[in-house]
Amino acid sequence: MQIFTPVKTSASAFEKYESLINEAIDAVHKREHYTPFPEMPSPADYGEGAESAQKAAFESQLGGKFDRLKQSSDSWLESDEESPYTGKGLKISYPVNSNIESYIAAAKKANEKWKVTDAKTRAGLLVETLQQLKSHFFELAFATMHTTGQSYLMSFQASGPHAADRALESIALGYAELTRFADKISWEKPAGKFNLKLEKFGMNVGRGLALAIGCSTFPTWNTLPGLYASLITGNPVIVKPHPKAIYPIAIVVSVIQDVLKENGFDPNLVQLASDKADNQITKKLAEHAEIKIIDFTGSNSFGSYVEGLPGKVVFTEKAGVNSIIIDSIDDLDAMAKNIAFSISLYSGQMCTAPQNIYVPENGIDLKEGHASLEDVEKAIVDQTRGLVEHPKAGHAVAGAIQSKATMDRVLKAKDIGGKVLLENKAIANPEFPDAQTQSPIIIELAKDKRNLVKGEMFGPIVFIIPTKDTNESLELASKAALEHGAISCSAYTQDESTLQNIATTMADAGTPVSFNLTGGVYVNQNAGFSDFHVSGGNPAGNASFTNPEFVVKRFVRVQSRIFVK
């Protein structure tokens, strides 16, 4: 009897990248440094002349139709995208369907072949899409820069190599989970004078149509993990980008569609569903009965709404209150320099950016001597001022403010209450004189002012909160994580028992801790294949990039049996 066998359509794709896939699987488990995508935009790695050619491609795309998508559509939509650097609209139009049922129908039809395709073929083709994407990393950088406000280098790294790392991580872990168990088993059990015999065969079945809801600040880094996790596990995907950041993820979708079509698959397996801020289709798609999987990055309110939808498998990354706990340190200036960079990087518009800095009111111990609260505050303020006022480094680190809401929040922060230690101000950008910029504002909150701030205040807004001692600092930081969520935490201590106490207490609050960062590593950063981004253990999100649960919940294992006489 012929039993179910997955369709093998392109063994060559897997064979081409088999060693890379195996390396990635090994890296996922070892958690050591690994990347096949160099993070610096060098001609040696990405081609001589590639940067200038792709900058020209970016410039020629402005004001025109993004006609590289191969999906079905019935009209064009001019986006709301506006550059935070120039203040001008990108005026790019994207193909759309006037009825969301068209996206749904096209996705279901496209999945008929993909869902019965074997894991090897899927993995090989998906890795091929990442290899093809490498030739668009510079265009991705310019597109990301002029939709999100990230600096050019951050845009290149986050939307290119680092996003590709996270995508490959999802492919590797997904492939490992799909092939964990044998597809065919000959089962025999002794039963006295005869044996019971069964032939068993297993099938991995995707849960169904996935919806990937993008954010405005990291449109590819936050979208690719879920997108590729759904694809490797046999699910079609509709990508609903943020209305203000479509261009970067449109590039990714176009590359995926090209590879699918070239290899005999329907490109509608992955579709871009663009919309405008005043006429969004997100809820219509999310609530649709055919949508079974949802990936979301964004606000707490919408994230909670998505998590509450019945009948959906949901993966969220929401907002949180990230803390720095200062107990003791050997080099005050080195610590302050690291903190200054962390709170200034991309103007605090990262989900991992610190917001609350807890310092004992009686100061901290140094390797030699003691630093008062005022000494700590002055060091952080001086280093921050020195960074943002640096004529070359300031604007390059801070980038630009992405949204009007964030800008308004920063400009009003001085009226919150508390003692303003460092006022925010515009950061001059010689290349883009109209860039929307603001340096960090640092406010000291005395004990009677702590209730003025509850939850995340997105943007370059930082609070220094004096405490009775480190124990109270830890109590406040862990409580904030449990109540409001937290994605990162930084701590400085030279005492081993204090270090262990902080790590354990914050772990109970679902928050990883970075200790004693004074060099070129910052609390904002997360490395693919090594760091788990978001724990899923507090209100900041229910999922993690990338643990096994991130992929195994996207498919089910169904094992059938045939009786053998």
Question: In the block, which residue shows the tokens 């063994």?
Answer: 11
Lowest mean pLDDT among 42-46, 319-323, 368-372: 42-46
Rounded mean pLDDT, 373-394: 97
Do both 161 and 273 map to the same domain? yes
Q: If you ran DSSP here, which 8-state letter would residue 235 be given?
A: -
- Work out the percent of the chain whose per-residue pLDDT is above 90: 94
Residue 1 domain-assigned? Answer: no
What pLDDT, on a 0 to 100 scale, did the predictor assign at position 6? 57
pLDDT at 246 over 80: yes
Locate 230 and state its tokens.
């759904």
Separation of alpha carbons 158 and 143, rounded Å: 12
- 314 & 352 share domain: no
Q: How far apart are CA 306 and CA 289, in angstroms?
A: 14
Any domain includes 297 = yes
Same domain, 272 and 412: no
Which residues are registered as beta bridge partners of 558?
A: 203
Residue 3 lies in a domain: no
User: CATH no. for residue 363?
Assistant: 3.40.309.10
Provide mean pLDDT across the span 176-182: 95
Same domain, 475 and 559: no
Give the pair of three-digit tokens for residue 495. 């005492």
For residues 325-338, one letter each, b for 16 or more C-beta atoms within 10 angstroms of the residue's C-beta and e for the rest, the string is bbbbbeebebbbbb
Pair 233, 347 in one domain: no
Q: Which segments of 263-372 does DSSP mark as H helices, in order?
A: 282-287, 300-307, 332-344
> How many domains is the chain built from?
2
Note whether residue 365 is domain-resident: yes
pLDDT in tens, 426-439: 999 999 999 999 99
Output the pLDDT for position 54.
Answer: 97
In this structure, are 54 and 100 located in the same domain? Answer: yes
pLDDT band (50, 70, 90) for residue 451: confident
CATH code of residue 266: 3.40.605.10
Among candidate residues 338, 336, 322, 340, the one with its CA nearest the CA of residue 366: 336
Coil, helix or strand at residue 38: coil
519 or 443, greater pLDDT: 443
The type of residue at 208 is G
Instruction: Determine, yes or no, domain membership for 528.
Output: no
Choose the final residue of a domain: 475, 498, 515: 515
Task: With respect to residue 337, please indicate whether it lies within any of the assigned structural domains.
Answer: yes
Q: How confident is the model at residue 3 (pLDDT cuts 50, 70, 90)?
A: very low
Q: What is the mean pLDDT of the chain?
A: 95
Query: Are residues 211 and 341 located together in one domain of the fold?
Result: no
pTM score of the predicted model: 0.95
> Tell me: the pLDDT tens digits for 183-195?
999 999 998 888 9
Closest CA to 260 of 231, 300, 302, 284: 231
Whole-number pLDDT of residue 565: 86
Q: What is the DSSP letter of 404?
A: H
Q: Residue 18's CB: how many other CB atoms inside 10 A?
A: 15
- 140 and 65 in a common domain: yes
Strand order in the sheet with 514-515: 419-422, 441-444, 461-467, 356-360, 323-326, 489-492, 514-515
Domain interval for residue 412:
323-515
Those residues whose C-beta lies under 8 Å from the C-beta of residue 444, and which sit 6 or more positions away, are: 377, 418, 419, 421, 463, 464, 465, 466
| Domain-terminating residue out of 479, 500, 515 | 515
**pLDDT tens-digit series, residues 59-109:** 999 999 999 999 999 999 999 999 999 999 999 999 999 999 999 999 999
Q: Say what the pLDDT of residue 414 is.
A: 94
pLDDT digits (tens, 9 = 90+) for 142-151: 999 999 999 9
pLDDT at 452: 84
Asked whether residue 537 is assigned to any structural domain, the reply reads no
pLDDT at 5 over 90: no
Residue 461 pLDDT > 60: yes
What confidence score (pLDDT) does residue 1 get? Answer: 40
Each residue's pLDDT tens digit, 204-238? 999 999 999 999 999 999 999 999 999 999 999 99
Residues 280 and 343 in one domain: no
Look up tokens 């403010």; give the residue: 401
Burial 126-156 (b: 16+ CB within 10 A, else e): bbbbbbebbebbbbbbbbbbbbbbbbbbbbb
Same domain, 28 and 64: yes
Residue 310 and residue 336 in one domain:
no
Residue 492 belongs to some domain of the structure = yes
Question: Are residue 311 and residue 337 in the same domain, yes or no?
Answer: no
